[in-house]
A and B are shown apart, each in its own frame.
Chain A
Amino acid sequence: MGQDSEWQPRILGFLCRWCSYAGADLAGTSRKKYPPSIRVIQVPCSGRVDPLFILKALRLGFDGVLVSGCHPGDCHYQTGNYFTRRRMAITKRFLEYMGIDPRRLQVSWVSAAEGAKFAELATEMTRELKELGPNRLFTGEEQANGTKTAP
């Protein structure tokens, strides 16, 4: 995907099946408009998301990753999202330390009733990533020994 005026970021969304996924569904059924840049993977709980998933997504060339779960106190499993919160706090900080723009990882709480919030979030994130430009962290350039790296 070249960087031109038509360039659309690709976002990988990990959405909790009990809230954010239903929220995204509601955004669709209530005909809210948001850019088609987000690809969704349903997870049983946002607590399922290992930081490995986020790095792997960036490694594969996604421009941004969204992890979205239930609001604190609303977790279907009582406390899953609290663990997500801790894990994502350190992940975001550590990615920043590595030199990855922290805007490439977004974490949000979206309930099943917040279709509008989801649409807004997807729009906002797409806009931010457009400003940031494509993710060329792991790809693009030739290596010192002249071999091209596979994406």
Chain B
Amino acid sequence: MTGDPLFADGVDWGDIGIMGIKVLVAFAALLVATMFMIWFERKLISDMQHRIGPNVAGPWGLLQAFADGVKFFFKEDLRPANADPLVFRLAPYISAVTAFVAFAIVPIGGVFTDTPGRSGTVTLFGKETILQVADPPVGILLLLAMSSVAVYGVMLAGWSSGSKYPLIGSVRASAQAISYEAALGMSVVAVVITAGTLSTHEIVRAQAGGVNEWLLITTGFVPFLVFLISATAELNRPPFDLVEAEQELVGGFHTEYSSIRFALFFLAEFMNVITMSAIMVTLFFGGTAGPVFFGLTWLWPTVWFLAKVLAFLFVFVWFRATLPRLRYDQLMSLGWKVLIPVMLFWLMFLGLRQLVVDQGWSTLQEVVVVLGLSAAGLALGWSLLAAALRAAKRNTDTEGLGDHDPEDLMPAGASPDAAGPGEDG
């Protein structure tokens, strides 16, 4: 039984009030968290670069983000003469709204158990409810829907600016987002196959039995790694931040934006980092799972959740401080030629394993079916890919490539005989 128990017995004004409070709290908390994320990132990256970072506004520069926010409000709102007035105004709001909506499906608290019946609920004003804004039946698909709609914000911002650099930045950004959405979606599918549900609430509950039931482990690490990489690319975070490669593109798709409209893009970007971290915790790290000690039992899950999210925020900043930016062709070949084939193979593997579990076969049968068929699929896909690459090489040899080097058509470092796994055949 999924869905919010709040609405199980009809809807009255009290339910609507609780819903309103939840929406407001989520909105405000996310906004404040975003402010502190900006501070956190700047402070942490200065630490890693042996600088001091923001230290003027407030203690340890804590109020820097607020000061910047106020500044943005009072700056002049510029609009290029060439811009498309309507779309230019619309684009920042699409970015900001999608960033907010995706957070709605994240359970941020509640003690989950893996026993049948309702769990993970808290009691607010005498009514039982869940600590997430919404638990729609499509669950995690909402994340994919929002991330595909978020492409519009970037794309329209670049186009409507009526200027070259934003357009190039936005075409890069949309191509990147669309490419990595496939890998992202497939790693979500891995989670859904293993957990057997789309609802984020139920996904967290499927991981309630302890660390060895976390989907990180039960899906076998690979989906998590693919999710982390594709999420970084979806977020346009370093090392995948070609969208705003300052040296080439000025500021990327938001070059022409100023004042509060720029602030909205800025906000959406950092908010998406928080949302993606929260989604990663929900999907792979047990969400709110963690030992409950003394006292306030309802508080501990939220504490664990926040701690895990903070760890991922740290990881994203760490990426930025450590990794150099990828070239555009490296970015595309990583997405299409590595992540997607790996995920296709892994989905086949997980699907076979789930088949064995559903059918209740014995361990011997499990080993034979899962390993045998996986190996067969891998061999088939690999030989097809090798044959295709060999044919391509033969064609280039006979027809000639002009000034192009044949190796350039291969993925970086791959020869026709050493292609990565692939079983799209």
Partners in one complex: no
A-binding residues in B (CB < 8 A): none
